[in-house]
Amino acid sequence: MVLYLRRRACYAFKLGGNVMRKNRLSVVVVVIVVFLIGSFFVEKQESAKEKLPTVGVLQFVSHPALDQIYKGIQAGLKEKGYEDGKNMTIAFQNGQADQSKLATMSQQLVQEKKSDVLIGIATPAAQALANTTTEIPIVLGAITDPVSAGLVKDNQKPGGNITGVSDKSPVDAQFDLVTEILPKSKKVGILYASSEENSKYQVEEAKNVAEKKGLSVKTYAVPSSNEIAQTVQVMTSEVDFIYIPTDNTIANAMQTVVNEADKTKTPIIPSVDTMVEQGGLATVGINQFDLGVQTGKMAADILSGEAKPATTAIYTFKTGDIIVNQRQADKLGVSIPEKIKSKAKIVD
């Protein structure tokens, strides 16, 4: 009897061991399956992240006009269904007016960020991108004349990997405004940076328009921002008002220009709305935010495959807004006609 019980106990022990081993094996199998399933979904999520399209944005320098364009670009992309961090990624770089940085950042946006579409805000940034790639689509933001800047062959049929939005100012309308608000002015000084290709083109156009309207014109080129204050001091003793084309170097130093011009109550007619807000008297200009929105929309169309740079014409605004700085007008003793004020955006 004792022997029988011992045998049954041994049998039960062996049976229990087998069950325990089977249970442990089942647990191990379940753990492995869960791990594999989890890894599969993690890889899918990582893969999905990697597949998010990237828009690389290179901005030439920080100043209100270009900053507004960048905000507009984000809004334009969103309007077309692309939102940063959700279904696309914006890789933003700012060269802060340093040519060597622009070149390095262009390389980063192309090689490291692997951008699907590139946007250049202002001519130097766009040129840096164009020098880096001839394959990735490039959308121009705020380039006055892409042809003279060497970026496209033709504004209507760009023919390469570049298209975009021009910030060409309505110069005729700007000088018509001058005749209305500064009727006694006879001499205009055009202030611009000699280093900016777009500015040279605009200066010639502004000079021709001003002379046709009976004004005498003198141009003042500055090689860098260091000479702006001294140049404006000279200008204020020689001209009745200062005209500034769409020029990033001057825009970046607008406060210096205003400070010097205010000393002699010399009016400033800039080409950009944000520069009126900074102390310019008035202008007929393109809203910089709206310019950015159009740029963002064009980038979105290229990203989605709806458009191709080679066959997409450069977008040019047909009209501009009248912007008047009433506080500056009061400071300078300039009376703005009611017919102008009724149509203008009044800023302080």
121: closest CA among 231, 248, 19?
Answer: 248
Q: What is the mean pLDDT of the chain?
A: 89
Q: How confident is the model at residue 38 (pLDDT cuts 50, 70, 90)?
A: low
Task: Please state, for a pLDDT cut of 90, what percent of the chain lies above it.
Answer: 80
Contact between residue 141 and residue 291 where contact means Cβ atoms under 8 Å apart: yes
Q: How confident is the model at residue 31 (pLDDT cuts 50, 70, 90)?
A: very low
Q: Which of 8-22, 110-124, 190-204 is the least confident region?
A: 8-22
Residue 327 has pLDDT above 70, yes or no: yes
pTM above 0.75, yes or no: yes
Residue 2 has pLDDT above 80, yes or no: no
> Residues 37, 38, 41, 47: what is their CA dihedral angle, to the nearest 10 degrees?
-120
pLDDT tens per residue across span 200-211 = 889 999 999 999
Write out the H or E segment, with its range, that includes residue 216: strand 216-222
Q: How far apart are CA 130 and CA 50, in angstroms?
A: 25
The neighbouring-strand residues paired with 189 are 218, 242
Residue 33 has pLDDT above 50, yes or no: no
Q: What is the pLDDT of residue 78?
A: 98
Average pLDDT over residues 143-171: 94
Residue 108 has pLDDT above 50, yes or no: yes
Q: How confident is the model at residue 24 (pLDDT cuts 50, 70, 90)?
A: low
Q: What is the pLDDT of residue 13?
A: 45
Q: How far apart are CA 213 and CA 231, in angstroms?
A: 25
Average pLDDT over residues 227-231: 98
Cα separation values, 315 from 131, 300, 346, Å: 22, 15, 27
Q: How confident is the model at residue 23 (pLDDT cuts 50, 70, 90)?
A: low
Contact between residue 312 and residue 158 where contact means Cβ atoms under 8 Å apart: yes
